Amino acid sequence: MPKYIFITGGVVSALGKGIAAAAIGALLEAKGLSVIMQKLDPYINVDPGTLSPFEHGEVFVTDDGCETDLDLGHYERFTHARMSVFNNYTTGKIYNNVITKERRGDYLGDTVQVVPHITDEIKEAIKSADTGGYDIVIVEIGGTVGDIESLPFLEAIRQFRYHVGRENVLYAHLTLVPYIKTAGELKTKPTQHSVNELREIGIQPDILLCRTDRPLPPDMKKKIAIHCNLDIDAVIAAIDVETVYEVPLVFKSEGLDKLLEKKLSLNTVEPNLSIWADVVEKIKHPKFESNIAIVGKYVGLRDSYKSLEEALIHGGIANNARVNLHWVDAEDIEAKGADRFMSEADGILVPGGFGSRGIEGKIEAIRYAREKKIPYFGICLGMQCAVIEFSRNVCNLSANSTEFAPNVKAPVIYLMEKWYNHRTGRIEERSLDSQMGGTMRLGAYPCILKDGTHAFKAYGIKEISERHRHRYEFNNKYREILAAEGMVFSGVSPDGELVEIMELKGHPWFLGCQFHPEFKSRPIEPHPLFRAFIGASIKEKRELFQ
């Protein structure tokens, strides 16, 4: 049976429970333990797939095609765990399961209630995370203690300790110790109130992770411990750091690894965090620097592109470079032109997205990258826009995507009526519906690379597998026309029907991919395409330095 760590948050949202949970996972892996992680979210949406990026940040996609909360991206970046449909449950998903069982007659006429039916369903969801005999299951509870939406999840984890044994469960609570500038001191009262709320629910935290912008003095830790009914060594300072990848090192310095070992009766080795120390060193003391312009339409909320931002940092780590991210609203380019925003860029990237807003600005940015020979990386929609730009300005076609212009003369990007699903081995139809506009290609699919291309040089292997989240595809009717003018289709599906990667001849580095490589990048294993893109963006600087 695995040991379970439940992580809750108090005082305010956005304290970083996801990072804390992921860092604990990294710390435990460094002690030789196998770890799996799970996020329980209190909102009523069945999954994050229908949520606006402005509302909830990016949608993270797993290999099995599950659309999940962005915190699962943190889990994969910090640990070797790979997420699936069993690693993210929402209130909507839990209630949907219970209602389905009730309609089917599974409850044999019982009155269906929050306790025990909803809480039992939550407990079953928690158990489902352990799909491979892991040593530790880390479960993050979304929201903040005191929110009405979180109560069923908190009741479920309170009960969980009685089902699996007290020695197999640990409760960690992330809270805030703010510094009040006018008073010139740290304040512990918010933490005390948060812990009191948790105890009223019936959960006594075993560990407190105190988010603070400065070290906690011993007398402050002692005060918190006394008022929260904890030993002083159970009060851990979660201090602000320059990079999130430093958090495992901070937790180690605070003695959290020893505390977890003692509380859960673990027999483990001293954690080896040298690989994380190396990552932090490269981030803090880089040899080179690269300025990357990211042209999108969700730039007002950085969490909309969280995995992308981190993958670019990973690309910098692989090249010993600091990556400076310059976020450019595509609509600003439409209004003011590309040169005003791109003139200092060492590389230009257009990420994925949906909808027509800002499309012409993205296309103009791509034209600028192509004509000025600036390294370009297009992801999903960024690849499709690159195809449209090339079709218009090089091939002289009246081109667009049918997503934006249903009656366009040259639909170089379109919604395929039928396609071969390599994951199921079946021919499938794109059935339109009023809510979503079509069935998406979700999850991991194989791709065959062409020798001698930038893609092949980056990966170093012939066949790859990458995660998708899109509806529209490249229209093969235009493949020969575009190829004749210099477009290279460097990655295709095994049957050759789906274009996965395109490049341009005569350009230093210009690549678009239909998938989302950012979902598989990790700081200790940077994704090959991000490594290559950042490498291309600093090539001249590297040559000058040498």
Question: Annotated active-site positions, please?
Answer: 380, 516, 518
Which tokens in the block code for residue 272?
Answer: 């080896």
Q: Residues near 374 by Cβ (< 8 Å), separated by ≥ 6?
A: 342, 345, 346, 347, 348, 368
The Cα diameter of the chain in Å comes to 77
What residues pair up with 209 in beta bridges, in sequence order? 174, 236
Q: Residues near 335 by Cβ (< 8 Å), separated by ≥ 6?
A: none
Residue 422: other Cβ atoms inside 10 A: 16
| Cα–Cα distance, 155 to 148 (Å, whole number) | 12
Residue 438: other Cβ atoms inside 10 A: 15
Which tokens in the block code for residue 180?
Answer: 């009040």
Taking phi over 0 as left and psi of -120 to 50 as alpha, with beta for the rest, 265 belongs to: left
> Please, are residues 347 and 510 in contact by the beta-carbon 8 Å criterion?
no
> Please, are residues 458 and 499 in contact by the beta-carbon 8 Å criterion?
no
Backbone CA torsion sign across 66, 71, 75, 78: positive
| Cα–Cα distance, 53 to 36 (Å, whole number) | 26
- Phi/psi at 66 (5° precision): -85, 130
What does the DSSP 8-state code read for residue 86? Answer: G
User: Helix crossing, 306-318 with 528-537: angle to 10°?
Assistant: 70
Q: Give, in order, the Cα–Cα distances in Å from 395 to each of 334, 349, 476, 485, 491.
A: 22, 23, 15, 7, 21
- Phi/psi at 377 (5° precision): -130, 115
Our measurement of the distance from residue 25's CA atom to the centroid of its chain's CA atoms, rounded to an integer in Å, reads 16
Taking phi over 0 as left and psi of -120 to 50 as alpha, with beta for the rest, 98 belongs to: alpha
SS3 percent helix, strand, coil of the chain, rounded to 5, is 40, 25, 35
* Helices and strands counted in the chain (H then E): 20, 25
